[in-house]
Structure 1
Amino acid sequence: MAETNHPFYEQHRGAMEAAMRQRLDLAEATLCERAHLTDMDGIRQEVMNEFEIVLTQMPYVGGAVSRMSDFFMRLIGFMAISRVLRRHGVPLPVIGDIERETYKAQLLTVPEAERLASGRQFLSSENQILLREQAAKSATESHQNEFPEDFVYDFVEPGPGDTFEFGIDYRACGFCKFAGRHGDKEILPNICGLDFDAYATRGIHLERTQTLAGGASHCNFRFSRLASD
């Protein structure tokens, strides 16, 4: 295990720690009710200590030029939460429910207009061009040699009769690699479950019927605009 954080992550350390503290604030009531934990000060400290370990374990996948760096920075902290709750005997399904409820609450602290604007940008033709380029790059031998812990994915164009705007097939997952390396495979599906709210709160419908974590050959993400009420 590395003893220090990568400089890129160290640069964003303050923001990541603040996000973790906010999650713990939002999760406190649920942790008491669903996980039956009472020493919340102790749990907070234990999670933040574990997060320090996770930070040293985070793989560098290209920094600001890679869209997947943001995925790691936003979601890897849930590995720390999961590890601590598992040590306290909280069942995996309960951990998943707590994390998803907490993440959704955190996402909803962002103003709706800002969230929906982010969703429109994600679905935009300009972003699809970028996704195609990064998908092609992710599959190159040179990129995989330089960043072996990165995601590998294909951009999927809709065919006749398809209702989605575009898709992404992840053939290798950075979180799966991380989990396999650090003994977190059993908590990995809970991380996958966070994706649905991450997109829905931005006005995007995600359809996904299989995951690498579930034993499939790839994760099949399909994106479309979420129907308004």
Structure 2
Amino acid sequence: MAETVHPFYAQHRDAIEAAMRQRLTLAEPMLRERAHLTDIDGFRREVMDEFAIVLPQMPYVGGAASRMSEVFMRLTGFMATSRVLRRHGVPLADIRDIERETHKAQLLTVPEAERLAAGDQFMSPENQTLLREQAAKSVTASHQAECPEDFVYDFVEPGPNDSFEFGINYRACGFCKFAGRHGDKEILPNICGLDFDAYATRGIRLQRTQTLAGGASHCNFRFSRLQRED
């Protein structure tokens, strides 16, 4: 019996697929140079076929009410690309570089003013309040029962000697759960590496010294603003 796509993701499928096609176009030079692929059109078809498998596997983490839904929709497509690259025998290090460079290139297609405005919104007191609320909700038994594949995290206030503005400790990761269930653990660290450019292109410095995917007890995200040129 074929798996069904959650209605929330089905609603956004066209946008997710359009973003994936854009990434594949941006990735073409590296696919030729690093992955040594020649049939790029065939590779595209393989990736989109794999995405049709990945999409119904995507766990529901709260839909529009959860900030993590956007993260899943933005990054889970990389699982499809990485699976196909692995089947083509591409080393994990090359997959990491291909994914990260194309992710960054895609992020930079958004005008700088728009990216920086999004970064300001993320760092704003209002958003920090929302993050505190969602962090508190993520640990509740009722939310974990409703969305068992969701992230579980704590909001971290800076201490007197800290240089970051705020932090998040992820104690359970939706991507780790996804990867463990579907055999993607070896490519998971490459997905984690995409976070740095996602924040840097919005004017935010991410510091992180450990991850759940790397065997730590939690992922320690710490956020501060990057200095901007006048």
Q: TM-score, normalised by structure 1?
A: 0.99
Say whether the 8 Å CA contact 1:20–1:77 is kept in structure 2: yes
- The 1:2/1:223 distance shift into structure 2, 3 A limit, reads farther
Match of 1:163 in 2: 163
- 2:102 and 2:74 mapped to 1: Cα distance? 13
**Any idea what the Cα deviations from partners look like across 1:104-161, whole Å, max 9, x if unmatched?**
0000000000000000000000000000000000000111111110000000000011
Distance 1:117 1:165 in 2: 17
- Which residue of 1 is the match for residue 47 of structure 2? 47
Give the 3-state SS of the residue equivalent to 2:164 in structure 1. coil
Task: State the secondary structure of the residue aligned to 1:168.
Answer: strand
- Identify unmatched segments of 5+ residues in structure 1: none
Distance in 2 (CA, whole Å) between partners of 1:3 and 1:171 is 29
C-alpha distance in structure 1 between counterparts of 2:166 and 2:26, whole Å: 33
TM-superposed CA distance for 1:228, in Å, is: 2.3
* Number of aligned residue pairs: 229
CA contact (8 A) 1:157 1:166 kept: yes
Deviations 1:61-91 (A, max 9, x none): 1100011101100000000000000000000
Specify the alignment match of 1:100 in structure 2.
Answer: 100
Is the counterpart of residue 177 in structure 1 residue 152 in structure 2? no
**CA shift for structure 1 position 227:** 1.7
CA distance in 2, matches of 1:48, 1:36: 19
**Structure 1 match to 2:132:** 132
Report the secondary structure of 1:185's partner residue. coil
Query: Which residue of 2 is the match for residue 84 of structure 1?
Result: 84
Residue pair 1:63, 1:69 contacting (<8 A) in 2 also: yes
Percent identity of the aligned residues? 83
Task: State the Cα deviation string for residues 162-215 of structure 1 (Å, max 9, x = none).
Answer: 000000000000000000000000000000000000000000000000000000
Partner amino acid for 1:167? G
How far does the alpha carbon of each residue in 1:31-90 deviate from its partner, in whole angstroms, 9 at most, with x for none?
000110111011000000001111010001110001110110000000000000000000
